[in-house]
């Protein structure tokens, strides 16, 4: 009997490819870029399973191009806004993600951005490299205090709570919103559940952890930015469209808020050009989970899901309802 056919849409760590190859006939995208939609439709044809990336739109059109033998699309990501879940469910295709294994890396990255914006690390580095440093001075390169300040979590699932635990080491006070109140979280970290308006008004740092769904598109826009303190910092390592990037660029330029740290963007890999001219924002290319152990574990979960479903079992981390 011929082996099931699996498409891997970007190169992942070799150990995970080797596990796939033991059981399946595997094709891997050899290029250092995502497939275009037309390429994906062509490559996916006849595959029993796909290991996809967040850059691959998996909708009805793509699944129809795959054909009725396609049983699973396993995302190499916890977020799955690239999936049309209803279209896949209607076609009997199982969709999976990689929850849990990237909480530490993503939360550490969120704190890294927060500290780097607060202490103007990237701006200061550029200053030294440009040969502009004259001498030490008491009022030079002032940043913001972090210790004991207030952190507002918009969304507090696994990643948001992980950020809160790390922030507790800085004695930060924790507010949270847009998730169900969690008495254990409140007891362990003294976190306070508030409405969105209170969180925006009282937080010195606002970090975003909501998933991208229609209701969270532009969760932070002009009005929300105006509702924040002029000394506030916004960090987004969730999904780009959660923030209205043009409104954020205007707010940073006009000093409506103090600064921002962005790992994700509305139209990746494009970045709102106005942001790139500003010193009070740090921009990095969607790398929150980019550590060897984390990416290995994400690959392991995606491969486990493919192995289980294509041998007649149930996946570990299904996202279909």
> Which residues contact ligand DGY (rule: CB under 6 A)?
54, 77-79, 102, 289
Query: Please, what is the minimum distance in Å from the beta carbon of residue 112 to ligand DGY?
Result: 15
In the complex with ligand DGY, the residue whose CB is nearer, 64 or 268, is 268
- CA-closest candidate to residue 106, choices 272, 261, 259, 238: 238
Selecting among 239, 266, 272, 295, the annotated active-site residue is 239
Are the C-beta atoms of 30 and 9 separated by less than 8 Å? no
Q: How far is the CB of 54 from ligand DGY (least distance, A)?
A: 6
Active-site residue 109, yes or no?
no
> Is position 209 annotated as part of the catalytic site?
no
Closest separation in Å from C-beta 290 to ligand DGY: 8
β-bridge mates for residue 150, sequence order: 173
Distance (Å, whole) CA 210 – CA 216: 7
Q: Which helix (H) or strand (E) holds 191?
A: none
* Cβ atoms of 237 and 208 closer than 8 Å: yes
218 is catalytic: no
Q: Which among 290, 289, 253, 282 has a CA at the least distance from the CA of 265?
A: 282
**Peptide bond just before 286 cis, omega within 30 deg:** no
Shortest gap between Cβ of 61 and ligand DGY (angstroms)? 23
Q: Which residue, 29 or 294, has its beta carbon nearer to ligand DGY?
A: 294
Tell me if 63 sits within 8 A of 91, measured CB to CB: yes
* Sequence-ordered alpha helix ranges (H) in 206-254: 222-227, 245-253
Nearer Cβ to ligand DGY (218/286): 286
Active-site residue list = 239, 268, 286
């Amino acid at each position: 009997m011929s082996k099931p056919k699996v498409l891997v849409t970007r190169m992942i760590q070799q150990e995970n490819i080797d596990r796939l190859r033991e059981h399946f006939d595997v094709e891997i995208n050899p290029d250092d870029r995502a497939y275009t939609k037309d390429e994906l439709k062509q490559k996916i044809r006849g595959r029993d399973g796909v290991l996809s990336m967040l850059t691959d739109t998996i909708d009805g059109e793509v699944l129809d191009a795959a054909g009725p033998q396609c049983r699973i699309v396993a995302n190499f990501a916890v977020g799955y806004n690239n999936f049309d879940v209803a279209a896949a469910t209607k076609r009997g295709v199982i969709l999976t993600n990689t929850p849990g294994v990237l909480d530490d890396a993503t939360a550490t990255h969120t704190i890294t951005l927060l500290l780097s914006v607060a202490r103007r690390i990237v701006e200061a580095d550029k200053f030294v490299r440009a040969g502009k440093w004259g001498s030490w001075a008491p009022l030079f390169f002032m940043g913001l205090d972090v210790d004991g300040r207030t952190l507002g979590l918009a969304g507090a699932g696994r990643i948001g709570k992980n950020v809160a635990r790390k922030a507790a080491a800085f004695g930060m006070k924790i507010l949270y919103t847009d998730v169900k109140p969690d008495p254990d979280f409140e007891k362990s970290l003294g976190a306070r559940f508030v409405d969105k308006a209170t969180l925006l008004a009282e937080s010195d740092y606002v970090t975003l952890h909501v998933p991208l769904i229609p209701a969270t598109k532009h969760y932070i826009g002009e009005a929300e930015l105006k509702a924040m303190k002029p000394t506030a910092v916004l960090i987004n390592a969730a999904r780009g469209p959660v923030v209205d990037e043009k409104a954020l660029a205007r707010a940073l330029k006009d000093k409506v808020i103090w600064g921002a740290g962005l790992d994700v963007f509305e139209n990746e890999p494009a970045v709102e050009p106005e942001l790139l001219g500003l010193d009070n924002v740090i921009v990095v290319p969607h790398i929150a989970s980019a550590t060897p152990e984390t990416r290995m574990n994400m690959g392991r979960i995606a491969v486990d899901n493919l192995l289980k479903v294509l041998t007649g079992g149930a996946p570990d981390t299904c996202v279909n309802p």
